[in-house]
């Protein structure tokens, strides 16, 4: 079982850079980078909500559950 982070895919569809997202969401560039690369252990709902508002998407567009069998 794994959670895949598709933040880079959603950002590419919106033609938004990590710097721009960082400015609009108010999260540091390094924290967004950790999230984008899938190295994050957790994400706050408030951060997820802010990212979804800026990217005009749903949490399921960013996070995906994949069976690891």
DSSP letters for 32-61:
HHHHHTT--S---HHHHHHHHHHHT--HHH
Q: What is the pTM of this model?
A: 0.90
Low-confidence ranges of the chain (pLDDT < 70): 1, 69
Write the CATH number for 51.
Answer: 1.10.260.40
Give the range of the structural domain holding residue 20, as residue numbers without chain letter: 2-66
The domain total for the chain is 1
Predicted confidence at residue 68, as pLDDT, reads 72
Predicted confidence at residue 69, as pLDDT, reads 61
């Amino acid at each position: 079982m794994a959670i895949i982070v598709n933040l880079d895919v959603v950002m590419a569809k919106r033609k938004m850079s990590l710097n721009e997202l960082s400015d609009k969401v108010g999260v540091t560039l390094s924290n967004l980078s950790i999230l984008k690369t899938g190295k994050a252990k957790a994400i706050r709902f408030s951060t997820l909500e802010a990212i979804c508002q800026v990217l005009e998407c749903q949490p399921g567009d960013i996070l995906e559950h994949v069976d690891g069998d």
